[in-house]
Amino acid sequence: MEYFLTEQQKTIKGLARRIAEERILPVRAELDETEEFPWGVIKDLADSDMFRVFIPEEYEGLGGGCFELCLVIEELSRVCSGIAVSYAASALGPLTLLEYGTEAQKQKYLPDIASGKKLTAFALTEATAGSDASAIRTTAERVGGGYVLNGTKQFITNGGEAELYTVIVLTDKTRGARGASAFLVEKDTPGFSFGKKERKMGIRASSTRELIFRNCLVPEENMIGKPGMGFIMTMKLLDRSRPGIGAQAVGLAQGALEAAVDYTRQRIQFGQPLISLPVVQDILADMAIRVEAARALVYAAARTIDSGAKSFTEESAMAKVFASDTAMKVTTDAVQVCGGAGYMRDYPVEKMMRDAKITQIYEGSNQVLRNAIAFELRKRKARRE
């Protein structure tokens, strides 16, 4: 399908594919097994300017937007979405700064993020607050010279590995979601430590950890945006980042489709390659249709965001839901057509199936996002649009 990429977008996509095939492919199975953080690949991504893609030129970036970010995530995920998510998660931090940070904050942090010197993480989820993000309990109490943070964040991607953490906490416990604020916390801040590293079903090369704050003093200038705006900012940011998860799902599904085609061309049963059997062709064709449809939707949502649209909750939710459901279906079918071999760890498709599941869960579960889409439908009807 022709998506009319610019020369620069083609260059970005091409280089991301090269990194995936030359640097990620040789290590993906091992990292999945050992659950080690892919520092080698992160360095390659940094050296190749991949962290510059989504940062404006005035902060030493390349000036791309959501669409360029999606192209990179898709290509990396085609080979290993476990490694891709460490990259993708690193986009949320700078996005917060770009949208709501002060000029001083941008100058201070963005160039190091662009060069890949500092990896970032975004911390919202807590034991009591998953889909109900407003139920967070971590607090920030105002003292002389800043705020003191107390509480524990859970399931934080890049936890323990990132240098910079965007943390959503309550600055006013009495106001619930309207009392939430965002802070930038540096790794070595006293009172900030890391809890257990989670053992996951998929995306095992990524790091998922608890962040523990015990009387952690954060200077006032590290607050991002205004006090009380933390929750609203987060919801808007997630609208902006969600197509990235869609792109992750598309890449994953694309990788599974290619693996399935390769295998069914080589596997001989009943005296012919599996791909000659109509029943297999049927499955492969449906896989291909779904992948392409998901890609088109993700690209369209990303381009909507980059066009400067004001509200895109619906579009980005649709892209994420459809692409992640596609990834789950397509990777499951890939395991099916690869049969017993596909179920074995010697082949890549079982890992892809394990990796796919999380895309339906994180950055807004597909159920919560369907709610959001339905809510927008009702709103629009009420406005008689």
Partner 1 sequence: MNVAVCLKQVPGTTKVQIDPQTNTLIRQGIENIINPFDTYALEEGVRIKERYGGKVTVISMGPPQAEEALREAISLGADEAILLSDNAFAGADTWATSYTLAWAIGKRGQYDLVICGRQTIDGDTGQVGPELAEMLGIPFVAYISQIEETSNKRMRVKRMVEDGYEIIETPLPAVVSVVKEINVPRLPSLRGLVKAKSAVILVWTAEELGVDKNMVGLSGSFTRVIKVFFPQRVRRGEILRGELASQVDSLIDRLRDTKLI
- The residue from 3, 6, 8, 289 that contacts partner 1 (CB under 8 A) is 8
Q: Per CB under 8 A, does 62 bind partner 1?
A: yes
Separation of alpha carbons 300 and 21, rounded Å: 26
Q: Which of 74, 161, 350, 363 is catalytic?
A: 363
Separation of alpha carbons 31 and 46, rounded Å: 19
Smallest separation, CB 18 to partner 1 (Å)? 6
Smallest separation, CB 8 to partner 1 (Å)? 8
Q: Tell me which residue has tokens 């692409």.
A: 323
Smallest separation, CB 67 to partner 1 (Å)? 15
Q: Per CB under 8 A, does 47 bind partner 1?
A: yes
Cα separations (Å) of 37 from 27, 72, 113, 169, 203? 11, 19, 18, 27, 11
Separation of alpha carbons 175 and 194, rounded Å: 28
- The residue from 6, 11, 107, 367 that contacts partner 1 (CB under 8 A) is 11
Q: Per CB under 8 A, does 186 bind partner 1?
A: no
Cα separations (Å) of 12 from 4, 54, 114, 292? 14, 11, 15, 20
How many residues sit in the footprint of partner 1 (CB under 8 A)? 16
CB closer to partner 1 out of 47 and 286: 47
Q: Per CB under 8 A, does 107 bind partner 1?
A: no
Q: Is 75 a catalytic residue?
A: no
Binding mask 15-34 for partner 1 (x = CB under 8 A): x--xx--xx-----------
**H or E element, residue 153:** strand 146-157
Q: 233 exposed, middle or buried (CB, 10 Å; 0-12, 13-18, 19+)?
A: buried
Q: Per CB under 8 A, does 50 bind partner 1?
A: yes
**233 CA to centre of own chain:** 17
75 within 8 A of 17, measured Cβ to Cβ? yes
Smallest separation, CB 128 to partner 1 (Å)? 42
Q: Per CB under 8 A, does 6 bind partner 1?
A: no
Separation of alpha carbons 331 and 257, rounded Å: 8
Q: Per CB under 8 A, does 284 bind partner 1?
A: no
**194 CA to centre of own chain:** 21
CB closer to partner 1 out of 64 and 93: 64
Q: Among candidates 174, 183, 177, 77, which has minimal Cα distance to 122?
A: 183
CB closer to partner 1 out of 53 and 318: 53
CB closer to partner 1 out of 23 and 209: 23
Q: Tell me which residue has tokens 């599974």.
A: 256
Smallest separation, CB 57 to partner 1 (Å)? 11
Q: Per CB under 8 A, does 48 bind partner 1?
A: yes
**Which residues here bind partner 1, judged by CB under 8 A?**
8, 11-12, 15, 18-19, 22-23, 44, 47-50, 52-53, 62
Q: Indicate which residues carry an active-site annotation.
A: 363
